[in-house]
Amino acid sequence: MQAFCQVANRLAWKPLAFPIEGFAVIPADERIEEETLPNYATSQYYPVTIGEIFRARYQVVGKLGFGTTSTVWLARDLSERRHVALKLYIGSGSMVRSLDNEINAYKRIGNFSIKDPGRSAVRALLDSFHVDGPHGSHQCLVHPPLWDSRIACLV
């Protein structure tokens, strides 16, 4: 039985199917979440949908948060059988250099020994990629979610 469990845990997750009806419809003119921010522009944000799969690997299951420069989504890593946080940045040419610096910093920190003081206080960058949206390209950073484990989150 233990051998079966070990093999099963190595298999990729299958994508989930999400319902497409049975929800309250929010009127199109009602602003919610990041839409209420000053200087909000629809064209800057990538229009993520629940169930969407990025890079044939990350399936979005819910929204975690938002800010003036990004939205953050909980996703299932279908390849590694774990949950991750996807941070999708607004499409803005002025952010490119700042994001490149952030990614380089994460890569540099990732080269440090796990035993280095403070290393565990900085979240890891698991992956990064670009997503093409209707109004341009958006940088996506993949991080572990900010919980120790799914069990710790439920307790």
Among residues 98, 97, 93, which one has the least CA distance to residue 137? 93
User: Is 87 annotated in some ligand binding site?
Assistant: yes
- Please give the full DSSP string across 42-59, using - where no structure is assigned: GGGS----TT-EETTTEE
Three-state DSSP class for residue 136: strand
Among residues 61, 57, 90, which one has the least CA distance to residue 75? 61
DSSP assigned state of 122: S
Q: For residue 142, count other CB atoms closer than 10 A to its CB.
A: 20
Annotated binding site for ATP: 87
Annotated binding site: 87
